[in-house]
Amino acid sequence: MQTVVVAFFISLAVALVLTPLVRGSAVRLGVLDYARSSRKIHGKPIPRLGGIAIVVAFFTPLLALFFFDTGVGQLLWSQPQRALALILGGLAIAALGTYDDLKGSGARPKFAIQVLVAALMWFANYRADTIATPFGTFGLGVLGFPLTVLWIVGVTNALNLIDGLDGLATGIALAATGTIFWVSLNNNRPLMALFMACLAGALLGFLRYNFHPASIFMGDSGSLFVGFVLATTALETHEKSTTAVALLVPIVALGLPIGDTLLAMTRRAARGQPVFSSDRGHIHHRLMARGLSHRATVLALYGIAIVLGGVAVALFHSDAEQTLAYAGAIIAIAAMLLVTAGYVRFDQTRQLLSDRKNNLAMRAAVRQAGSQLRTAQDPEAIWNVVREVMPVLQASCASLTVVARNGTVKTSEFSWGFDEAPASVLRARFSLLGERPDDGRIELGFTDGRRTVDRDTEIAIELLCEHIHAAVERIAAAQEAEGTGSRKVLRIRR
């Protein structure tokens, strides 16, 4: 126990010292979150590489224990497969998140890497092979592998999705870490308790700079890493448990991010949006829409996370009858939160159906545009595709600027409709690199009287920008290989 306490304070100290250093480096490198979409809450650019400080703070005491002869330290050598699997898997996920923070990566390669790492964790015996219920324990058989992968990938991304307010994901993860730490100690899992102590220290030290008003965000490098560590450790902790519902304990402990993710995917599917798109329908957005301040919303969700952690601990020590009672309490808490956050609204069915129809139409148009852009041979061909999709987006005018990062095609600019547009036109500009600043951009004009661009239209435009950027890079690479690249500025106004 003494080693675990020392590991906690080492992680805490490293996080407190390293976080401001990472923050300064992120500012110098320009790795900032610019809040370029309506779903973002913060109003100024914030450094987003804080996950690096969390990762280093987590691993520092673990690496030190490899060289010191302590009881807990010997566990790292006695269980090398599990220790190294979590360390190497965590580093892989952290590297993936850091790359996404620096360069940006598509959803498909991110999920592919996460699935691969999760599969390797299964082979390292981080598994959900059985499920215990109040009515008995059942082996999962062949379902164990896909459910294990689904659990690790799901929890890894759940924490990323709920990371929408200053300190929110950090505090919720800290509450879950404390719960799993307690269960680890009481379930004779000292190695997992050590991992949780290191993670708790790293999170607490980082929260000093991440709580509202935040001076640094954890970014994908942090949220994906923390979610991965929680997911894998919870799997190991629940194994050989004596509780009546072993796997339910980590599910309840992580209930807030898991529930928010499931609600988000259900909501987006019902509205005809891509299920992995971002929106303003998360629990924290809903509570703020109800009038809570930024800080009050975060503290309220902290309270819910702590309550769920307490219920999870109670479940660990419960028998079958008590488990059913706690399950009823969980359902009551969930129902209260759904009503309070405004999820239960039967009077908006007609509006939902209308939004779904519009979203499906925009997605179909963008999907077709993406197919055409894959065969575009020059910037003007890209512009012609963009012009075709404008009516579906209800835009009256548009301009496009493409710049290849390798410098082959320096700048190509196109514009349509802005010269004749009224002064009241709403102009909305989007970077081709999404949240990252870039000289490449698309600007749309709306003359239908709207004051803002709704999130549904923003999602469609963001998907279109991804297709345009991919086409620009492909064309530039081809021109560079052929030695026919043009460095002139091309402007076309129609």
In a domain, 327, yes or no: no
In the chain, the percentage of residues whose pLDDT exceeds 70 is 84
DSSP 301-364: HHHHHHHHHHHHHHHHT--HHHHHHHHHHHHHHHHHHHHHTT---GGGHHHHHHHHHHHHHHHH
Last residue of a domain, one of 229, 259, 289: 259
The percentage of the chain sitting over the pLDDT mark of 90, rounded to a whole number, equals 30
What is the reported pLDDT for 490?
39
- The mean of the pLDDT values for the chain is 82
Domain-embedded: residue 346:
no
Per-residue pLDDT band at 144 (split at 50, 70, 90): confident
Q: What is the pLDDT of residues 291-319, one digit of tens each?
A: 888 899 999 999 989 988 888 888 777 77
Q: Do the domain assignments include residue 320?
A: no
If asked whether residues 252 and 388 sit together in one domain, one would say no
Asked whether residue 337 is domain-assigned, the answer is no
Q: Do 383 and 252 share a structural domain?
A: no
pLDDT at 71 (0 to 100): 60
Residue 468 dihedral angles phi and psi, to the nearest 5°: -65, -45
pLDDT of residue 245: 52
* DSSP count for the chain of H helices, then E strands: 17, 9
What is the structure's pLDDT at 101? 85
Report whether pLDDT(368) > 70: yes
* Both structure tokens of 260: 């928010």
Q: The domain that contains 384 carries what CATH number?
A: 3.30.450
Least confident of 22-36, 97-111, 127-141, 373-387: 127-141
Q: Which of 227, 259, 291 finishes a domain?
A: 259
pLDDT at 210: 92
253 and 383, same domain (yes or no): no
pLDDT over 70 (residue 239): no
- The pTM score is 0.80
Given CA atoms 235, 241, 247, 248 in this order, what sign does their dihedral have? negative
Rounded Cα gap, residues 88 and 94, in angstroms: 10
Q: What is the pLDDT of residue 492?
A: 41
- Does residue 116 register a pLDDT over 90? yes
Among 231, 259, 287, the domain boundary falls at 259
Radius of gyration of the chain from its Cα atoms, rounded to whole angstroms: 25
Closest CA to 86 of 144, 126, 146, 145: 126
Question: What SS3 class is residue 189?
Answer: coil
Query: DSSP class of residue 429?
Result: E
491 pLDDT higher than 50: no
Question: Does 393 reside within a domain?
Answer: yes
pLDDT for 78 beyond 80: no
Number of domains into which the chain is organized: 2
Question: Is residue 40 in a domain?
Answer: yes
What confidence tens digit (pLDDT) does each residue in 416-474 have?
A: 888 888 888 899 888 887 766 667 889 999 988 888 888 889 889 989 998 998 888 88
Res. 207: pLDDT tops 90: yes
Rounded to an integer, what distance in angstroms lies between the CA atom of residue 239 and that of residue 131? 9
Which of 422, 367, 359, 419 has its CA nearest to residue 394? 359
Specify burial of residue 467 (Cβ count, 10 A radius: 0-12, 13-18, 19+).
buried
Q: Examine the pLDDT at 130 and tell me if it is beyond 90.
A: no
Token pair recorded at residue 324: 């059913």
Looking at residue 16, its pLDDT comes to 96
Domain that residue 247 falls in? 2-259
Flag whether 287 is in a domain: no
* Across 14-35, average pLDDT: 88
Higher-scoring residue by pLDDT: 356, 237: 356
Residue predicted with more confidence, 250 or 408: 250
Q: Which residues, other chains included, contact 343 with Cβ-Cβ below 8 Å and sequence gap of 6+?
A: 263, 286
Tokens of 106: 């598509």
Q: Let me know if residue 390 belongs to a domain.
A: yes
> Which amino acid is residue 430, in one-letter code?
F
Q: Specify the pLDDT at position 6.
A: 87
Q: Is the pLDDT of residue 15 over 90?
A: yes
Rounded CA separation 265/89 (Å): 26
- Across the range 147-152, mean pLDDT stands at 91
User: For the chain, first and last CA: distance in Å?
Assistant: 73
CB 413 within 8 A of CB 399: yes
